[in-house]
Chain A
């Protein structure tokens, strides 16, 4: 019995409980435990990825209750890819937090581990209600992390975030309840079978439930017009929390991809291609709105948050094109954009901390200490985020554009993605030149040498190196993404692995 499919879910849960028991203990012990748990999570994620890379689908029936009656965890290439992305991102976000942010409020490490628990669970579960539960776990943890450190603006942004997500969760429950009422199952593989065989009378009901479900996922993924919560929330959260939240929109994108390919894919009979005409135009509009927001931002953190919205747009454009090539491009682009956004959140924290009262507002201020190093790293991160060569963002966008050429809407896709990239470039070039070039000479004595700048930037550099790794290993990784896309476009294998049996 291999426990590989559940290990990445259990590990952060146990680490979180232990950290809660040790909450009055030595902070060094808690930090060491938290980092050790995340490092072990990376190890487990790599092992899981290797185990499924050959195309196997690991099914883990909790409590030995067989599907569709019990709850199963299902690890395929897509799940493993996202779990690994999450674990890598978490390590660097956590390392940044160790520089003091973790003690600015209570229970940072506990919440961080529980957030990982929710994320890993959401990626690995094969049950729709269980997906709801893991969404709740990761949201509850994110409410705590969002408000970590307190402050007026953060609390206000956090309140919006909490209220919107509570509304989203309620709708999620309505959709799940409706689907259960019609089909009598919540196992995703079983739903895939039942949805395809829904009697004609019930087709409109299932359609409504499916669209409601996508509405909820679109809220999490920050798809237009449900993206409005994101910029304020991400711009106000503490830097490590915002960096970790870079994966949160991807949970929504993952859920859209999983449910649309598995339950409402080509084999779903009258409900096939439920999202057909919706996803692509909305995703393109999201891309444009995100980039316009980035150009109009008056603060660096808000700008990065809008770039996260735009990257959600790019990602969902890739998923909306709905071909093996485009989904593969999106999956290759996903870790890149996550790491690049997190890196920008971390460096904007480093920049804001050195500008005194001005923080990260776009106003000319005194020259930054170590501006060459900070500016250089900001430049690299901006290049990564904007998708310029030679970094992996360029490859991702290139693959996306190439995949779009076969689609009837290709002029729209090409035009929007390229114009969006240009807007992003303008926004980042403007903010970089304002922060680093239009600086007044420092008044009076030069500021004291900032000790520990290299240590502070290490997590940031680590994230950039991950981006470089994505570029260097682009061959095998894009092959993996391609194999993943082909696997999820043939949901028969998933259904067969979970439920067994030959007929579909």
Chain B
């Protein structure tokens, strides 16, 4: 990754958080509008990719909440478990439950779909980042030769 660009190196850390915020926004708006866990997860991968390309894969790995593969597994587990409350309530698996919480100014909608989407988000972010971080050093090696 030489020669390094000082501008990129300085810009990437705040950009990372900005992109994650965008990812979270996309994840949340996916309830009733285009978006959701999968697309949000892809944006989060783009954030990790930016850090990995500019600051190196170790830096990207450090900024992840959990190691990539573990994040992916936890995401799949969360998505799988999100289907269970409905099944325990006597409905088919993956039947989602909704609760409205009145906050005075607006109604906050909580649901098991949210958990499912969060699981998908983590699974996408973890899986693709795991691939990325495994392949980047290979690409760097090929560039070096």
Total B residues in contact with A, Cβ cutoff 8 Å: 17
A3-B87, A13-B80 given; A20·B93 CB < 8 A: no
Residues of B within 8 A of A103 (CB): none
A61 at the interface (CB under 8 A from B): yes
B77 and A17 form a contact (CB under 8 A): yes
A166 at the interface (CB under 8 A from B): no
State the Cβ distance, B3 to closest chain A Cβ, in Å: 37
Most buried by B among A14, A17, A60: A17
A21 at the interface (CB under 8 A from B): yes
A1 at the interface (CB under 8 A from B): yes
Q: Which of A1-56 contact B (CB under 8 A)?
A: 1, 3, 6, 10, 13-14, 17, 20-21
A64 at the interface (CB under 8 A from B): yes
State the Cβ distance, A144 to closest chain B Cβ, in Å: 14
- In angstroms, Cα B120 to Cα A59, docked, is 26
- In angstroms, Cα B94 to Cα A13, docked, is 14
A14 and B80 form a contact (CB under 8 A): yes
A63 at the interface (CB under 8 A from B): yes
Residues of A within 8 A of B80 (CB): 10, 13-14, 17
A3-B87, A64-B86 given; A17·B73 CB < 8 A: yes
Q: Mark each residue of chain B from 76 to 99: 1 if its CB lies under 8 Å from any CB of chain A, else 0.
A: 110010010011001111111000
Residues of B within 8 A of A10 (CB): 80, 93
Residues of A within 8 A of B93 (CB): 3, 6, 10, 60, 62-63
B90 and A1 form a contact (CB under 8 A): yes
Closest to B93 in A: A6
- In angstroms, Cα B83 to Cα A14, docked, is 12
A21 and B73 form a contact (CB under 8 A): yes
Closest to B74 in A: A21
- In angstroms, Cα B73 to Cα A21, docked, is 7
State the Cβ distance, B39 to closest chain A Cβ, in Å: 19
Most buried by A among B69, B70, B73, B90: B73
- In angstroms, Cα B81 to Cα A14, docked, is 9
- In angstroms, Cα B87 to Cα A17, docked, is 19
State the Cβ distance, A402 to closest chain B Cβ, in Å: 43
Q: Which of B32-77 contact A (CB under 8 A)?
A: 69-70, 73-74, 76-77
Total A residues in contact with B, Cβ cutoff 8 Å: 14
Residues of B within 8 A of A62 (CB): 92-94
Residues of B within 8 A of A21 (CB): 70, 73-74, 77
A20 and B73 form a contact (CB under 8 A): yes
Residues of A within 8 A of B87 (CB): 1, 3
B94 and A1 form a contact (CB under 8 A): no
A1 and B91 form a contact (CB under 8 A): yes
- In angstroms, Cα B90 to Cα A61, docked, is 13
B92 and A63 form a contact (CB under 8 A): yes
Residues of A within 8 A of B91 (CB): 1, 64
- In angstroms, Cα B49 to Cα A397, docked, is 58
- In angstroms, Cα B77 to Cα A61, docked, is 21
Closest to B70 in A: A21
- In angstroms, Cα B77 to Cα A21, docked, is 10
Residues of B within 8 A of A60 (CB): 92-93
Q: Which of A430-486 contact B (CB under 8 A)?
A: none
Q: Which of A279-293 contact B (CB under 8 A)?
A: none
State the Cβ distance, A27 to closest chain B Cβ, in Å: 18
Most buried by A among B83, B86, B92, B94: B92
- In angstroms, Cα B7 to Cα A388, docked, is 77
Q: Mark each residue of chain A from 211 to 231: 1 if its CB lies under 8 Å from any CB of chain B, else 0.
A: 000000000000000000000
- In angstroms, Cα B116 to Cα A62, docked, is 14
Residues of B within 8 A of A3 (CB): 87, 92-93
A13-B80, A14-B80, A64-B86 given; A1·B73 CB < 8 A: no
- In angstroms, Cα B84 to Cα A3, docked, is 11
Query: Chain B interface (Cβ within 8 Å of chain A)?
Result: 69-70, 73-74, 76-77, 80, 83, 86-87, 90-96
Give the 4 A-B CB pairs with smallest separation, nearest first.
A63-B94, A64-B95, A20-B73, A62-B94
With contacts A1-B91, A20-B69, A21-B77 known, what are 15 further pairs, Cβ within 8 A?
A1-B90, A13-B80, A14-B80, A17-B76, A17-B77, A21-B74, A60-B93, A63-B86, A63-B92, A63-B93, A63-B95, A63-B96, A64-B86, A64-B92, A64-B95
